[in-house]
């Protein structure tokens, strides 16, 4: 079971749920998408390339059924993998994203990250104070700061490739609609308080994914795996158990 994080995230975002899936008998692979976490930085950053990265990763895994779970950008990559038909998954879970195109939602995040003076980051508190000028949500600031690391003894930096991601922000908003309906079992998880999957999207999902289920995670927004991890795990587990 390969789990993919969202834009500006990392594999650490799914560590808690990944452990729960592992305890349930899955061989779990938490991976960093290119330009995120500990994965290499690259000037090539698009859905097709990331889907190819994931296909290569899946091919390297031991024999057996293969499942993929992706949140937001990670969900887009999972759907793109199916569109490109590079790997035959036994099941796909898409967390709070639809196959349609989106308008850019992260311009404020980019502005905040670029406003941070990277040459004078001496403490995490300094970073948070600079981010808070634009990003007023404490949870979002804390989530972004998970990607901070000590580049030098007295120098903080971001693990994600801010420059390349900022230049390619449309990557997370592109449509991943297949040319023909796909029959791979697919579970779409929608945060009850999120607008990333709306009523119109549900009809679109059913049109492009002929073997899809759509489940709502209560008391959760876009970061459903952090806001309601129990319900997220239970819905995913129920779906996967039927395919094992």
Helical pair 138-145 and 107-115, crossing angle rounded to 10 deg: 60
Residue 163 known to be catalytic: yes
Neighbours of 10 (CB within 10 A): 21
Residue 72 known to be catalytic: yes
> Which residue of the set 72, 147, 225, 227 is catalytic?
72
Residue 215 known to be catalytic: no
> Which residue of the set 5, 36, 71, 222 is catalytic?
222
DSSP at 150:
E
Bridge partner list, 217 = 191
Which pair of tokens denotes residue 217? 């995670």
What stretches of 79-178 adopt beta strand conformation (E)? 91-95, 148-152, 155-158
CB 207 within 8 A of CB 182: no
Q: What is the dihedral of CA 164, 70, 40, 36, to 10 degrees?
A: 50
> Which residue of the set 163, 167, 183, 200 is catalytic?
163
Q: Annotated catalytic sites, by residue?
A: 72, 163, 222
């Amino acid at each position: 079971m390969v789990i993919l994080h969202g834009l500006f995230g990392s594999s650490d975002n799914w560590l808690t749920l990944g452990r729960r899936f592992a305890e349930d008998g899955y061989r779990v692979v938490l991976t960093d998408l290119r330009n995120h976490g500990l994965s290499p930085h690259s000037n090539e950053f698009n859905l097709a390339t990331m889907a190819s990265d994931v296909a290569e990763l899946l091919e390297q895994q031991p024999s057996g059924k293969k499942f993929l779970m992706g949140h937001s950008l990670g969900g887009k990559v999972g759907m793109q993998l199916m569109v490109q038909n590079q790997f035959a998954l036994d099941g796909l879970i898409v967390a709070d994203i639809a196959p349609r195109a989106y308008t850019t939602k992260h311009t404020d995040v980019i502005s905040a990250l670029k406003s941070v003076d990277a040459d004078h980051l001496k403490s995490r508190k300094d970073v948070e104070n600079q981010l808070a000028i634009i990003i007023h949500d404490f949870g979002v600031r804390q989530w972004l700061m998970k990607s901070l690391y000590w580049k030098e003894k007295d120098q903080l930096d971001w693990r994600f490739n801010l420059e390349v991601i900022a230049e390619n922000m449309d990557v997370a908003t592109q449509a991943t609609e297949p040319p023909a309906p796909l029959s791979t079992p697919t579970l779409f998880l929608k945060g009850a308080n999120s607008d990333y999957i709306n009523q119109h999207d549900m009809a679109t999902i059913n049109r492009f994914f002929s073997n899809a289920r759509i489940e709502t995670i209560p008391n959760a927004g876009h970061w459903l795996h952090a806001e309601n991890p129990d319900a997220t795990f239970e819905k995913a587990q129920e779906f996967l158990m039927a395919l094992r």
